[in-house]
Structure 1
Amino acid sequence: MTATNSSLRKLKEAAKSMLPAPLFLSLLHRKYIGRYPNLLHPTTFNEKILQKSLRPDPWLTELTDKLTVRDYVAQKLGESHLIPLLAAPESFTKEVFDALPDSFVMKANHGSSYVKVVWNKSATSFQALHELANYWLSLDFYKIGREKHYRPIKPRIFFERLLLDESGKVPPDYKLQCFGAKSGQLVIYILVISDRFGADTRGDLYDVDWNHLDVALGEYRPSANPPPRPDNLDAIVDAAVKLSADFDYVRVDLYSPNNQIYFGELTFTPGAGVLPFTPDTVDYEWGSLIPDAYLSIRPSLAVTVPPAT
């Protein structure tokens, strides 16, 4: 990239950052979905997600933060469903790196896709991970999609145990789209992400009875041979039901290596409200499952960030 192109890109990004959030999101929606959103009277899934991005309940910040949400999950499901936390330091030092096991996962708590799988610590270095961690910490995730509940999160780096299935691979990611739990009319769809960190990442959508649906979400393409029904599907769904009970909509991410269920994250504004559906009619169908009025959620639980190690 030339110096001129780089300067123009920086000017463009600076101009975008000055746009009011509703205008910014409308342009982003037009770019990715192909039409301008109706933010005053939303009907589609993406429009209602944009509305929540603009006017989130303050509690969502605590539940979106990947560290503080652990207390909520422990109360709802039990601590055994939390991925073991190896470290959540105030600063990532060489001493922290040296104390980590040979394999682990490094994450940041304040955004999406800040994940680094380390299979063998000897194949990387503290310097490499430190540079990546500092880059993540420098990012203001709010500016990417104007999801307001991310803005107050204090960025932190943390380390979890690497989960592996019986074949030694990272297990599938079960993303349960939970609609209407708070209003008593729960509907669940399950997006299964396979080979997430491999060369052939796929996303397959099922209804709650494990019927495969001919639907694609965002960048994820369905598999030629969709994943089979997990042996503990009922337990996976039950965990999502418990974690979604306080909300009109939430995506509950779970893992289930060797039939043990572990919590991934809660996501209230997936795709930042600009998630393409194929076919597009699903955007309207899912939108009808979210109440038109934003139903406020109950007061925040007291949560505690895990102590620095």
Structure 2
Amino acid sequence: MTPPNSAQLDEEAAASVLLRKELELHEDKVLAEASQSLAALYQSPAQSGSVIRRIKEAAKSVLPDSLFLSLLHHKCIGRYPNLVRPVTFNEKILQRSLRPDSRYIGLTDKLLVREYIAGKIGQEHLIPLVAAPAEFTRKVFDALPDAFVMKANHGSSFVEVVRRKSETSFEKLRLLADKWLSTAFYSVARERHYRKIKPRIFFEQLLLDDSGKIPADFKLHCFGGRPGGPIIYILVISDRFGSNTRGDVYDIDWNHLDIAIGYYKRSVTPAPRPPHLQAVLDTAVKLCEDFDYVRVDLYAPDNRVYFGELTFTPGAGVLPFTPDKTDYEWGKLLA
């Protein structure tokens, strides 16, 4: 990671002072200025709710990154972060968002990273790519198989699962693709490495296990840079696209930990230890060996291990932990 220079530290120190003394006042001022500049765009009083939302979005767009992230952190975590001397996991992830390693760009791009993954663990661990067109046209749609997953390469949550093509349409998917492509993902949470990723739509094979279900997501938080190997926590997201989504955290021995990450509910009863757990862990260890921290996402249907993505700033540094002390404990693991 590029070390901070004095100008960067001065900027963040100034931001910290603002946060402690004048943060809310500053935010109100920006909102007022945005209101004046946008007022002429709106006509009908009936649209006041929409107007307020758009004013708030405009206000956020003019806030400096460090100030915006501090406000967002306060909203999601309940406290303002220390960006100069970060202590918690989330604070250190915020620092990464502001000063990302140059490697993050290509490794976060969900298309470009495939070459890196093939070189590290082999082509057989990549989800088969169906199409990565320069433009999503009806011809491309017609050539797609009956089942597939549509994704975008430049951000999180750009995923559309299609089990039967007859139940969707080109027009519906094209509208969704256009929405994704027009989203500047950097502006969502100011993760700066996303600014240089060129948005693309691509299509992958739909992974299903032998029972026809979409496999669980294994999100392995890997703290590396240790002689004895990385420290790994496994977040398992089950039934992600269903009505009973759960998020459970395990250690490498498959002990069900009393930790909740984000807004996922824990399962009352932990899942049985997967027979292929060691293969999942071995794959994660291989993929995290070049980094002091990375979240490695994998799928493992029926003893096969497939790569999902590498994430260097999970939750954009505003990821709630329950209990909150986990934020501090994980912060000690991250340099």
Q: TM-score range by the shorter chain?
A: over 0.9
* Residue 118 (structure 1) aligns with: 162
Q: Write the distance in 2 (CA, Å) between the matches of 1:53 and 1:2.
A: 38
Indicate yes or no: 2:40 matched with 1:13: no
Q: What amino acid sits opposite 2:181 in the alignment?
A: L
Structure 2 counterpart SS, 1:169: coil
Give the superposition deviation at 1:183.
6.6
Structure 2 counterpart SS, 1:287: helix
Q: Write the distance in 2 (CA, Å) between the matches of 1:5 and 1:205.
A: 39
Indicate yes or no: 2:314 matched with 1:270: yes
Structure 1 residues without counterparts, runs of 5 or longer: 292-309
Q: Write the distance in 2 (CA, Å) between the matches of 1:38 and 1:183.
A: 29
Q: Write the distance in 2 (CA, Å) between the matches of 1:4 and 1:277.
A: 35
Structure 2 counterpart SS, 1:213: coil
* Residue 261 (structure 2) aligns with: 217
Indicate yes or no: 2:297 matched with 1:253: yes
Indicate yes or no: 2:210 matched with 1:158: no
Structure 2 residues without counterparts, runs of 5 or longer: 1-44
Give the superposition deviation at 1:186.
1.3
Preserved CA contact (<8 Å) 1:183 1:248: no
* Residue 98 (structure 2) aligns with: 54
Q: Write the distance in 1 (CA, Å) between the matches of 2:214 and 2:276.
A: 18
Which of 64, 69, 77 is the matching residue for 1:33? 77
* Residue 240 (structure 2) aligns with: 196
Q: Write the distance in 1 (CA, Å) between the matches of 2:144 and 2:66.
A: 43
Q: What amino acid sits opposite 2:321 in the alignment?
A: F
* Residue 295 (structure 1) aligns with: none
Q: Write the distance in 1 (CA, Å) between the matches of 2:67 and 2:254.
A: 39
Greater CA radius of gyration, 1 or 2? 2
* Residue 243 (structure 1) aligns with: 287
Give the superposition deviation at 1:12.
1.2
Q: TM-score, normalised by structure 2?
A: 0.85
Q: Could you report, residue by residue, the CA deviation over 1:74-116 in whole angstroms, capped at 9, with x for unpaired residues?
A: 0000000000000000000011101110000000000000000
Give the superposition deviation at 1:180.
2.1
Q: Write the distance in 2 (CA, Å) between the matches of 1:124 and 1:260.
A: 29
Q: What amino acid sits opposite 2:192 in the alignment?
A: K
Q: What amino acid sits opposite 1:210 in the alignment?
A: W
Preserved CA contact (<8 Å) 1:104 1:162: yes
Q: Write the distance in 2 (CA, Å) between the matches of 1:183 and 1:24.
A: 37
Structure 2 counterpart SS, 1:22: helix
Give the superposition deviation at 1:181.
3.6
Preserved CA contact (<8 Å) 1:70 1:82: yes
* Residue 128 (structure 2) aligns with: 84
Q: What amino acid sits opposite 1:245 in the alignment?
A: E
Q: Write the distance in 2 (CA, Å) between the matches of 1:186 and 1:83.
A: 25
Q: Write the distance in 2 (CA, Å) between the matches of 1:195 and 1:232.
A: 19
Q: Write the distance in 1 (CA, Å) between the matches of 2:55 and 2:209.
A: 46
Indicate yes or no: 2:110 matched with 1:66: yes
Preserved CA contact (<8 Å) 1:62 1:68: yes
- Identify the structure with bigger relative contact order (alpha carbons < 8 Å, sequence gap 6+): 1
Which of 59, 63, 66 is the matching residue for 1:22? 66
Preserved CA contact (<8 Å) 1:165 1:257: yes
Q: TM-score, normalised by structure 1?
A: 0.92
Indicate yes or no: 2:168 matched with 1:131: no
RMSD: 1.1
Which of 218, 232, 251 is the matching residue for 1:207? 251
Q: Could you report, residue by residue, the CA deviation over 1:247-282 in whole angstroms, capped at 9, with x for unpaired residues?
A: 010000000001000000000001000000000000
* Residue 298 (structure 1) aligns with: none
Q: Write the distance in 2 (CA, Å) between the matches of 1:123 and 1:60.
A: 37
Indicate yes or no: 2:274 matched with 1:230: yes
Q: Write the distance in 1 (CA, Å) between the matches of 2:273 and 2:170.
A: 40
Preserved CA contact (<8 Å) 1:181 1:187: no
Give the superposition deviation at 1:185.
4.8
Q: Write the distance in 2 (CA, Å) between the matches of 1:52 and 1:184.
A: 25
* Residue 218 (structure 2) aligns with: 174
Identity of aligned residues (%): 67
* Residue 144 (structure 2) aligns with: 100
The structure with the largest helix share of the pair is 2
Aligned residues: 291
